[in-house]
A and B are shown apart, each in its own frame.
Chain A
Amino acid sequence: MTVLAARGIRKSYGGREVVAGIDLDLARGECYGLLGPNGAGKTTTLRMLLGLVRPDAGEISLLGFPVPKAAREGRMRVGVVPQVDNLDPDFTVRENLVVYGRYFGLREREVAARIPALLDFAALQARAGSRIQELSGGMKRRLVLARALVNDPELIFMDEPTTGLDPQARHQMWEKLRVLLRQGRTILLTTHFMDEAERLCDRLKVIDHGRSLAEGSPAALIAEHIEPEVVEVYGEGVAEWLEAEGRALAVRAELHGETAFCYLRDAGPAVASLRNRPELRFMHRRANLEDVFLKLTGREMRE
């Protein structure tokens, strides 16, 4: 069953098309990733899907409600984890949850009944009375997540949920997301972290310049777009090695600055060649989603 559907949504700002015809279909219970470099149109897409920005063209159905016409009804059963923490700094942890529940028309008593479970989920049981300034970055992030669950949502939007967190906090956040998926909730996730997308997403879409470049499961995208093995080579003389030997041994090879990227079906001969070049350092690894992402969206810096 489709939880969220979009057909050909478009949005321009000042003559520049930020979203240029995106289609989406999220099935119940899946974790769907929206990946793209900065400025690719991810956040604008999310805002249109929530009914916060009016699309120039296209159709959106959010939990069966047409958006933006009935976006408010759709958002009744949606939770949102924004990119930037926007907790109320004047309130305690508990007050943040109570006040946010009111925006969904929930009575204090209803929210109060849910708070212990929400605090438990966010591992903030001992912090109910703490002010927001007293919380660590990871705690704030977990509270934002708990706040997004105050209305028991079917669908959760997460805009870069782990940006700025340390590895411990990221892993903890991923564990929370897995629990939510086990509960049958659907998640739409945007992220810059390819390892995060590879770990969590059942399916994902890579977008750039407002257009969809590829869609599929992480494994399928890797198999479709990239050779299975990668050798990265660094050090003085890397360009010379690449031209003399590397390029012939790889299916594809690229030189970026001081690093050569060799994409291969079998890395054996390239590794053997590099063992004879002690001045070069190298790393042999399996192809991953980041390779796919960089191949599809290029390596130039985005501002």
Chain B
Amino acid sequence: MTELSGAWVAVWRRNFLVWRKLAGESITGNIIEPLLYLLGFGFGFGAMLPEVDGVRYIAYLAGGTICYSTMLAASFEALYSGFSRMHVQRTWEGILNAPVSLEDVVFAEWIWAASKSFLSGIAVLLVAIALGLGQSWTMLLIVPLAFLVGLTFSGLGLIMTALAKSYDFFMYWFSLVLTPMMLFSGVFYPLANMPPWLQATANALPLAHSIALGRPLLLGRWPQAPLVHIAVLAAYAIAGYWIALVLLRRRLTT
């Protein structure tokens, strides 16, 4: 039984209005860090390495950087900012007293965190293009990809938010899930260099599938089995949203 209505747009617009007021800080934070990694590793390691996967190391790194920075932006928004709105500021409580359902609120949060991370992903894409790392029109397909990656990690992040008692809980998600995923999904080095069990684990998780799409698209190549990767990301996104909704209903309306 769905209770979703058009009211979710009003909730999304509320978050957007807050973001607009703090856009400078937000965009700076979202761009500077990935940019530093990209330049530092790209030029630092790049100088020592021959080509990776047939391209300069910094070009290899850029596709992965777009994906993981989108992942991190969606996660921060769904976890810390979402928890703040749900629990600390009691923003949801105020909204739910109006004719807005919990499903409207959760759906809006899902789309919002994806939207915000989408902007981060696009910002890093523009930096990559400015550095001359984009190779062909296929990089434009990273635009919809960034939104899908945002939905995936925003949906998964909302599960953590639904379970959290305090901000400290989120350390588990970052330390045990996101950071390992970032290190072992082929952002910085080819996944093929990893032991088989690690490759299998990475391939079961969404970041590797994001990179399997994002990197070739930036380098002007066509991804292998794109529909499989899209399906995995969409499945994580929808399952994440749905589980979060069930948990939040249990937490807030029973």
Tell whether, in the assembled complex, residue B96 and residue A102 are in contact, meaning their CB atoms are under 8 Å apart: no
Q: How far is the CA of A52 from the CA of B248 in the complex (A)?
A: 13
Choose one: B17, B22, B97, B253; the contact of A99 (CB below 8 Å).
B17
Tell whether, in the assembled complex, residue A89 and residue B89 are in contact, meaning their CB atoms are under 8 Å apart: yes
For A76, the chain B residues whose CB sits under 8 A away are 99
For B101, the chain A residues whose CB sits under 8 A away are 72
Does B201 reach chain A (CB closer than 8 Å)?
A: no
Query: Please, which residue of chain A has its CB at the minimum distance from the CB of B11?
Result: A103
Does A91 reach chain B (CB closer than 8 Å)?
A: yes
Choose one: B18, B94, B99, B254; the contact of A82 (CB below 8 Å).
B94
Tell whether, in the assembled complex, residue B98 and residue A104 are in contact, meaning their CB atoms are under 8 Å apart: yes
For A82, the chain B residues whose CB sits under 8 A away are 90, 93-94, 97
Q: Mark A198-227, 1 if CB is under 8 A from B, else 0.
A: 000000000000000000000000000000
Q: How far is the CA of A104 from the CA of B90 in the complex (A)?
A: 18
User: How far, in Å, is A22 (CB) from chain B's closest CB?
Assistant: 18
Choose one: A78, A86, A103, A157; the contact of B90 (CB below 8 Å).
A86
Tell whether, in the assembled complex, residue A91 and residue B90 are in contact, meaning their CB atoms are under 8 Å apart: no
For B3, the chain A residues whose CB sits under 8 A away are 72
For B10, the chain A residues whose CB sits under 8 A away are 99, 102-103, 105
Q: How far is the CA of A151 from the CA of B97 in the complex (A)?
A: 12
Known: A88-B91, A90-B18, A99-B17. A75 touches B254 (CB 8 A): no
Query: Please, which residue of chain B has its CB at the minimum distance from the CB of A77?
Result: B99
For A279, the chain B residues whose CB sits under 8 A away are none
Q: How far is the CA of A188 from the CA of B25 in the complex (A)?
A: 43
User: How far, in Å, is B18 (CB) from chain A's closest CB?
Assistant: 5
Q: How far is the CA of A87 from the CA of B22 in the complex (A)?
A: 18
Choose one: B11, B93, B98; the contact of A75 (CB below 8 Å).
B98
Choose one: B7, B13, B17; the contact of A91 (CB below 8 Å).
B17
Tell whether, in the assembled complex, residue A105 and residue B91 are in contact, meaning their CB atoms are under 8 Å apart: no
For B89, the chain A residues whose CB sits under 8 A away are 86, 88-89
Q: How far is the CA of A76 from the CA of B101 in the complex (A)?
A: 12
Known: A86-B94, A88-B14. A104 touches B253 (CB 8 A): no
Tell whether, in the assembled complex, residue B14 and residue A75 are in contact, meaning their CB atoms are under 8 Å apart: no
Q: Mark A62-85, 1 if CB is under 8 A from B, else 0.
A: 000000000011011010101010
Known: A52-B253, A99-B17. A73 touches B90 (CB 8 A): no
Does B31 reach chain A (CB closer than 8 Å)?
A: no
Tell whether, in the assembled complex, residue B253 and residue A75 are in contact, meaning their CB atoms are under 8 Å apart: no
Q: How far is the CA of A54 from the CA of B252 in the complex (A)?
A: 11
Does B100 reach chain A (CB closer than 8 Å)?
A: yes
Known: A72-B5, A99-B14, A102-B10. A50 touches B97 (CB 8 A): yes
Q: How far is the CA of A87 from the CA of B85 in the complex (A)?
A: 11
For B254, the chain A residues whose CB sits under 8 A away are 53-54
Q: Mark A93-105, 1 if CB is under 8 A from B, else 0.
A: 0010001101111
User: How far, in Å, is A52 (CB) from chain B's closest CB?
Assistant: 6
Query: Please, which residue of chain B has its CB at the minimum distance from the CB of A80?
Result: B97
For A88, the chain B residues whose CB sits under 8 A away are 14, 18, 89, 91, 94
Known: A84-B90, A89-B89, A105-B7. A52 touches B98 (CB 8 A): no
For B97, the chain A residues whose CB sits under 8 A away are 50, 52, 75, 78, 80, 82, 157
For B96, the chain A residues whose CB sits under 8 A away are 52
Tell whether, in the assembled complex, residue B94 and residue A102 are in contact, meaning their CB atoms are under 8 Å apart: no
Q: How far is the CA of A295 from the CA of B124 in the complex (A)?
A: 68
Can you pick out 16 interface pairs between chain A and chain B where the beta carbons lie within 8 Å of each other?
A52-B96, A52-B253, A53-B253, A72-B100, A80-B97, A82-B93, A82-B94, A86-B90, A86-B93, A99-B13, A99-B14, A102-B14, A103-B95, A104-B98, A105-B99, A147-B94
For the complex with contacts A72-B101, A86-B89, A103-B99, 5 further pairs of A-B residues with Cβ separation under 8 Å are A72-B99, A86-B93, A87-B94, A102-B14, A151-B98
Q: What 8 A-B pairs have minimum CB-CB distances, sorted nearest first?
A: A103-B98, A80-B97, A102-B10, A86-B90, A86-B94, A75-B99, A72-B99, A90-B18
